[in-house]
Chain A
Amino acid sequence: MVTARLEVVSTMGDDEQALVRSARAGDEDAFAALVRRYMGGLHRVVARMLGDDEEAWDVVQMALVRAWQKLDRYDSRWRFSTWLYRIGTNLAIDVARARASRERAHEAGGLRVVASQETPAQRLEASEVERVLRRLALGLSPQQRAAFILREVEGLDTAEVARVMGCSAATVRNHIFHARKALRSELLRRYPELAPGRQEADHAV
C-alpha cells in the first residue's frame, strides 16, 4: 500500500539504455518496450490529478507522442521515467488549468464502509480513500495537486518531485504545505468521520 510503488524510482539499467538508443534510432518496438513499463504508473498519477480515467489515458497518449518526438532531447543522466513523468505531469497541469473554470465535480454517493471494530478511517477501503482523494484533489491548484500526489501518494522524494515538476525542492515543499492545509480543511469539513482523534480533540476544546 505505502510501499515504494512507483517504478519511477527504479534505476536505469543497461537494458533501458539500450532501448533508449534503439528508440532514438527510430525503433518503435524499442520505444514501446521502454514506455510500457511506466504507462500504468503515469496513468495513475494523471488520473489522480484530473479525477478522470479516460481523460488521463488521453494525456498519457499525448505524453507518449511527445516523448517519441522529442526523444533526441532526452538527457540520459536522468531516469527515463522521470523524464516521461515530467512530460505527463506538465500536460496534466495544462489540462487541469484549461478546465479550471469548469464546475468542480459534484460529490456523488456515500462511502462504502465495512462494519467492524475498527475506526471509520481504518475501515475505509483503500479504493474509497482513492475516490476521496480524487474528489478533494480537484480543489487544489494543478501544481499543488501534482506535488502532493507525486510525493505523498506515490512516495517519490522531494528531489525527484522537483525534477519531475521542473522546480526547486523549496517550491515542492511549499506546494505540499498548502495542499495539506487545503486537504485537511476539506477532509474535516466533508468527511469528519475520517479524521481519527481529531473530532474528539475538537470536542474536548
Chain B
Amino acid sequence: MQCERFLENIPLYLEDRLDGAERAEWRRHFGSCAACRDTAMAHDPSLLFLRAEAPPPAEREVERHLAAALSRARAERIERRVRSGRVRRWAAAAVIVLGCGLAGLTFLGGGVDPGEVSSGTPAIARTERPAVEVEMDGGVTVYQFAEMDDATTTVAFVVNPEMRL
C-alpha cells in the first residue's frame, strides 16, 4: 500500500469502513512505515496499541497448563458422577417412602382405593396378593401390584425386612 493511500484511509480505518483485505493491508503498512504510523497516531493516539506485542508462551508452559486443564476435567467428571450417584440414591429413597405410603394406605387399612388416588394417575388393577415378590440386598423387597400383562404396573420397595405385605 502506498503511503498516500494509507493516509487517505486513516478515517475509514477508524470508522471500520475498510473491507477485510484493505484493512489487513492498512494494518501491515502501519506496522512497517514509521512516518505513516506517526501521522495515523496523531489522528488517534489509541492506534499506538496496534503495535502491542506479547511474547508467545513457552511450549513447556503451554503443555503444563494443558495437562492441568485435562486433569481438572477428569476430576470434575468424577465429581459429577459421584454427585449424580447421590441424586440417584435420594431418588430411590423417595420412591421407597412413596411406595411404603401407598402400600400402607392400600393394604393396611388406609381405605384408599388405588384406582381413586388421583384422577391423573392410571388405575392399578388390584390383585389378591402382589404378583411378584423379590428379595433384594439390604432388606429391600419388591412387590408388583398388577398382573404381568397389565401395562399399568406399580412397584413398591419395602426397606424394613420385617414388614410384609
Contacts and interface: CB of A to CB of B under 8 A. Distances in A.
B39 A180 contact: no
B69 A126 contact: no
Interface stretch (B25-33, B122-130, B141-149): B25-33
Interface string B1-44: 00000000000001010001001100110110010011101101
A165 to B, nearest CB: 15
B56 A40 contact: yes
B1 to A, nearest CB: 12
Contacts of B48: 121, 124, 129, 132, 187, 194-195
Nearest to B76: A65
Using C-beta atoms within 8 Å of the partner chain, give the interface range for chain B.
35 or more
By CB atoms of chain A within 10 A, which of B37, B42, B53, B73 has the most? B53
A179 B44 CA distance: 12
B73 A64 contact: yes
Given A39-B66, A152-B50, A173-B16, A195 B73 contact: no
A126 B51 contact: yes
B151 interface: no
Given A130-B54, A197-B38, A180 B16 contact: no
Given A4-B24, A183-B46, A184-B46, A133 B52 contact: yes
B111 interface: no
A133 B14 CA distance: 18
Interface stretch (A11-19, A42-50, A94-102): A42-50
Given A40-B57, A188-B45, A130 B52 contact: yes
Nearest to B70: A28
A2 interface: yes
Interface of B: 14, 16, 20, 23-24, 27-28, 30-31, 34, 37-39, 41-42, 44-46, 48-57, 61-63, 65-66, 68-70, 72-73, 76-77
Interface of A: 1-4, 28, 31-32, 35-36, 39-40, 43-44, 47-48, 57, 60-62, 64-65, 68-69, 118-119, 121-122, 124, 126-127, 129-130, 132-133, 148, 152-153, 155, 157-158, 173, 176, 179-180, 183-184, 187-188, 194-198, 201
Given A122-B37, A157-B23, A187-B46, 18 more contacts: A2-B50, A2-B51, A31-B70, A36-B63, A44-B56, A48-B52, A64-B66, A124-B51, A126-B52, A127-B55, A130-B54, A152-B49, A153-B50, A157-B20, A180-B44, A184-B44, A184-B45, A184-B46
